[in-house]
Amino acid sequence: MSEHDQPLNVPNALPLGYRFNEFEIKEVIGGGGFGIVYRAWDHQLERDIAIKEFMPASLAVRSDDLNLVLRSERFSKTFHAGLNSFIQEARLLARFNHPNLLHVLRFWVQNDTAYMGTVFYSGTTLSNFRERHPQSVNEAWIRRMLPPLLGAIKTIHEAGYLHRDISLDNIQIQSSGEPILLDFGSARKTIGNLSDESETMLRPGYAPIEQYSDNDESEQGAWTDIYALGAVLHTLITGAPPPVSVVRSIEDNYQPLVQRRLAGYSTALLSAVDRALALKPEDRPQSIDDFAVLMALPEREPEPLLSAKMSGPGTMLVPIEEEEIIPPASPLKTLLGHRFALPGLVAAGVLVGLCAGLLMSRGDDQTTSAETAQNSAPAVTVAPVNQPVAAPPTQPDTPRDTVASAPAQTAEPAQTAAREPDPQPSPPPAPVAQVYIRLQQGERVQVNGQPQALVPAVNGFATLQLAPGNYTFAISGQSGTRQQTLNISEEGVWLLDPHS
């Protein structure tokens, strides 16, 4: 059964039966924050094609006449920058003629947005394939899958471009078993860089440290895509992506695969993955050929790949941030507030703030006293605004509206009514997020109005463990009080720098 046999309810999607000249929309097969993907029938050539629509839901909505309308005029610059990146990416992909690269048939502008028509492939993403066929993923399978994928990446590099968004969700495994490298996500990157909230969407664990740098264009190269490819292999082998590169820059807790001695995998493959995941760009293979040599890969493996064994009409290649529950082994997305320069990060450990999209705002409150610096930062669990905030251990919290009184005793008129025992409060959600917050000496922190006893460690960061929910941070210091809002909906690591 195809993974899209069940109809999807995607907001702002065009209705089934809508026509683009000879193309008729038959099915919505993907949708997310930056676009919508349809299966369409080409009446002229009598075949299925896939159509990707540029639809950034945070910036625009669909009107009754099916055109896109900006949510606010202030989004105009960001929307049109993303639209231009979408069109340029379509033109770029149309230039390539590689069997393992997404093949663009045509693109056009309509409904005040743009569309990309591509070949319609059957299969599923590498992430779904690994989840559904874990027994098929071993070193032999990886060695058969890699050569055509490396060839696709090398074709991009030789043309003078980088992919910058390689992940399990951006690699399609066709029903024949052949891998297809998907779109670059250029529009998403452009919107992240230019949005009013200064958001940048990256894939934690897959994005190398130089992608967080202000000078990313000069510091990025083939080694940037090689790091992401190493993260893909790490996930296939271990079931989880490597630690987030930004966190590794504070304390590199990456455990080399060679040291783990994973059964069924050769030292050559494991050491090549370790080299690809080196934190510093200069320590990684500098080209796809160098990476292939480390694993002793042939240019093309003659043995056919294992088939995904899927039926049905298939799925569109281009993944569009599907709204689904992400398994623990899948990559999680986080929002990074401001980018920072790599040299300063490596040398001094300075990080950017990870936020949910709202800028810091200055207040007028002045701090009253300074705190004494210590060498460790205790972890503190904080409840979100939609959950009761846990009181200190010495002052247990009494649940509101839960105390009931027993009926008065008739034999003793002066006796006070007995009280039933207070019901036990339901435990708060288990923490799912690790939040690092950069603090200066003497600064005070409140989370959802509750003071937190946070003291920065020697690296300048304090630690919080938070459950799902919305949080408002208020940081008071000599320069006043600043506020920042953070929404946590899934497991991950957030880094907060209120001084950026």
**pLDDT score, position 181:** 93
CATH T-level assignment (fold) for domain 353-389+426-500: Immunoglobulin-like (2.60.40)
Which of 8-12, 28-32, 328-332, 430-434 has the least mean pLDDT?
328-332
What is the C-alpha to C-alpha distance for residues 178 and 311, in angstroms, rounded to an integer? 15
* Residue 76 or 436, more confident: 76
Place of tokens 């038959």: 26
pLDDT average, residue stretch 462-482: 84
Shared fold status for 19-119 and 123-320+327-333: no
Helix ranges restricted to H, 72-137: 76-95, 126-132
- DSSP string of 129-196? HHHH-GGG-SHHHHHHHHHHHHHHHHHHHHTT------SGGGEEEETTS-EEE----HHHHHHHHHST
pLDDT higher than 60, residue 332: no
pLDDT average, residue stretch 315-321: 36
What is the C-alpha to C-alpha distance for residues 452 and 464, in angstroms, rounded to an integer? 9
Nearest CA to 434 out of 482, 470, 359, 488 is that of 488
Quick one: CA dihedral 236, 278, 489, 56, positive or negative? negative
pLDDT higher than 50, residue 70: yes
Q: Does residue 411 sit in helix, strand or coil?
A: coil
**pLDDT score, position 482:** 82
Which of 134-138, 161-165, 232-236, 491-495 has the least mean pLDDT?
491-495
Annotated binding residue at 52? Answer: yes
Q: 172: which 2 tokens?
A: 């399609």
Could you count the other beta carbons within 10 Å of the beta carbon of residue 379?
A: 12
What is the C-alpha to C-alpha distance for residues 29 and 244, in angstroms, rounded to an integer? 30
What is the C-alpha to C-alpha distance for residues 106 and 108, in angstroms, rounded to an integer? 7
**pLDDT score, position 190:** 53
Q: Which DSSP letter does residue 60 get? A: E
CATH no., domain 19-119:
3.30.200.20
pLDDT average, residue stretch 412-436: 57
Longest dimension (CA), the chain: 95
**pLDDT score, position 497:** 67
What is the C-alpha to C-alpha distance for residues 405 and 442, in angstroms, rounded to an integer? 47
CA distances (Å), origin 361, targets 166, 197, 364, 410, 449: 35, 12, 10, 61, 16
Q: Which amino acid is at 222?
A: A
- DSSP string of 256-315? -HHHHT-TT--HHHHHHHHHHT-SSGGGS-SSHHHHHHHHT--SS-SSPPPP----SS--
Domain 123-320+327-333 has CATH 1.10.510.10: yes
- The full set of domain ranges for the chain reads 19-119, 123-320+327-333, 353-389+426-500
pTM score of the predicted model: 0.60
Q: Which amino acid is at 17?
A: G
**pLDDT score, position 467:** 85
pLDDT higher than 60, residue 206: yes
Which of 93-102, 237-246, 355-364 has the least mean pLDDT?
355-364
pLDDT higher than 80, residue 209: yes
pLDDT average, residue stretch 43-60: 93
Strands 380-382 and 68-70, sheet pairing: unpaired
**pLDDT score, position 88:** 87
pLDDT higher than 70, residue 138: yes
